[in-house]
Amino acid sequence: MKKRQDRRPDFLPDAVEPGRLEGALAAAERALGVRITVNDHAALFLDANGQPALPASRRRHENSFCDYGRTRPKWDQACLRHCGRDVPLQAAEADRPFVHACWKGAAEIVVPEHYDGAHVCTLFAGLWRSPKPCAEPLERPIPAGFKARHAELPAFDRKALARIAGPLQMLGAGLVSLWLGQIRWGDEGDRAARIRRFVHLRCHEDIRLADLAEYLSLSPSRTGALVRRYLGQSFQDAVRGERLRRARTLLAHTGRSVKEIARRVGFNSEYYFNRAFKQAVGLSPGKWRRGRASRREESALRAP
């Protein structure tokens, strides 16, 4: 008899490796003809070492139009408020892609991505020249350089935008499912796994023990006892610990203010964030960030 042939699949590299995650987004950009920015507001796209899985250029708008005015404090702050806070808050309440226009007069497709009921990230795709900005310009008269860059943007075409909204939504859903699906919280049917997943996915939101109890269909007292049994700490301590872990990543790898980072990871008060961070780490967020930057500079100087 002939020996049976080996029928094992010829596997390709893991699609959720950080480098391939960026590669998939770059390939989608080429196919759709748009620039894609990922607002990872919950800091979920982290590698095994807690480092951002996406490059900084993917996590912010990098193009000549958006870059114009970044050195102006008021302009940069307005951009951060709009695309970093206001639009993601809109996206959290949406269940499908929508078009928004920024205060500068650029239009983009906004794609909200949810996972297990949580708003986990937002994709931005564009840019186009908006028929009307969402707010008045910060300067009068409008700088000539800015007007020239605005005129270079492609004209707004709602039908063209509608054609690529669906593929963008499926792309985002696929990336989120692949990335978060690799995280092993435990047996998916186990309550311990459901508790860990809830804390991981929702810690940046204003959540309470009662919310977890509703998610598990249990009483708050029973839920609190289960959290202590499985996580070895209270629900609020578990949430605070996850928030602080993400805060360290954002402090180390972004230039966002301490106040903005506190809000992003789920602290309603910058004061409370500073106090919790110092209790956990021994330094204030600002001192910890500066010390880390100094250590990097020293390492660079010692390098051959």
Note the pLDDT of residue 294.
Answer: 63
Given this model, what pLDDT does residue 139 score?
Answer: 86
The torsion of the CA quartet 92, 259, 136, 153, rounded to 10 degrees, works out to: -70
Indicate the number of domains in the chain.
3
The whole-number pLDDT of residue 302 equals 47
What is the edge-to-edge ordering of all strands in the sheet holding 106-115? 35-39, 118-129, 106-115, 98-101
Cα separation, 95 vs 121, whole angstroms: 13
pLDDT single digits (tens) 179-238: 887 776 666 568 888 999 899 999 999 999 999 999 999 999 999 999 999 999 999 999
Name which of 35, 66, 40, 64 is nearest 54 in CA terms: 40
Q: Is 250 contained in some domain?
A: yes
Q: Is 109 inside a domain boundary?
A: yes
Residue 48's pLDDT is what?
73
pLDDT for the residue 304: 44
Indicate whether 286 belongs to any domain: yes
pLDDT, tens digit, 9 for 90 and up, residues 270-303: 999 999 999 999 999 999 999 876 665 445 434 4
Answer yes or no: is 3 within a domain: no
pLDDT tens-place string over residues 233-256: 999 999 999 999 999 988 988 888
- In Å, how far are 77, 221, 265, 276 from 270, measured between CA atoms? 18, 30, 11, 10
Shared-domain flag, residues 55 and 176: yes
Indicate the residue type of 74: K
Picking from 199, 232, 265, the residue at the C-terminal end of a domain is 232
What is the rounded CA–CA span in Å between residue 75 and residue 87?
16
Does 161 lie in the same domain as 42? Answer: yes
Q: Do 35 and 157 have their domain in common?
A: yes
Burial-class residue 243 by CB neighbours within 10 Å (0-12, 13-18, 19+).
buried
Q: Is residue 46 part of a domain?
A: yes
Domain that holds residue 253: 241-304
Mean per-residue pLDDT of the chain: 87
110-169: per-residue pLDDT in tens? 999 999 888 999 999 999 999 888 888 888 888 898 999 999 999 999 999 999 999 999
Same domain (yes/no): 75, 156: yes
Residue 142 domain-assigned (yes or no):
yes
User: What does the pLDDT average to over 79-100?
Assistant: 91
In a shared domain, residues 216 and 250: no
Name the residue among 119, 116, 118 with its Cα closest to residue 39: 119
Other beta carbons less than 10 A from residue 174's beta carbon:
14
Q: In terms of domains, do 79 and 125 share one?
A: yes
Q: Are residues 115 and 195 in the same domain?
A: no
Identify whether the C-beta of residue 127 lies closer than 8 Å to the C-beta of residue 108: yes
61 vs 184 pLDDT, higher one: 61
Q: Does the residue 108 lie in any domain?
A: yes
Q: Which CATH number goes with the domain that contains 255?
A: 1.10.10.60
195 and 166 in a common domain: no
Report pLDDT for 10: 64
Q: How confident is the model at residue 265 (pLDDT cuts 50, 70, 90)?
A: very high
pTM above 0.85, yes or no: no
pLDDT at 16 over 80: no
Domain end point (choices 163, 181, 199): 181
Has residue 131 been placed in a domain?
Answer: yes
> Are residues 120 and 210 located together in one domain of the fold?
no
Specify whether 161 is located in the same domain as 26. yes
At 11, the pLDDT band (50, 70, 90 cuts) reads low
Work out whether the CA dihedral 136, 139, 144, 146 comes out positive or negative.
Answer: negative
Q: Within this chain, do residues 200 and 82 fall inside the same structural domain, yes or no?
A: no
The last residue of one of the domains, among 143, 158, 181, is: 181
Mean pLDDT of the 95-106 span: 93
* Shared domain check, 128 and 83: yes
What's the token pair of residue 216? 């598990």
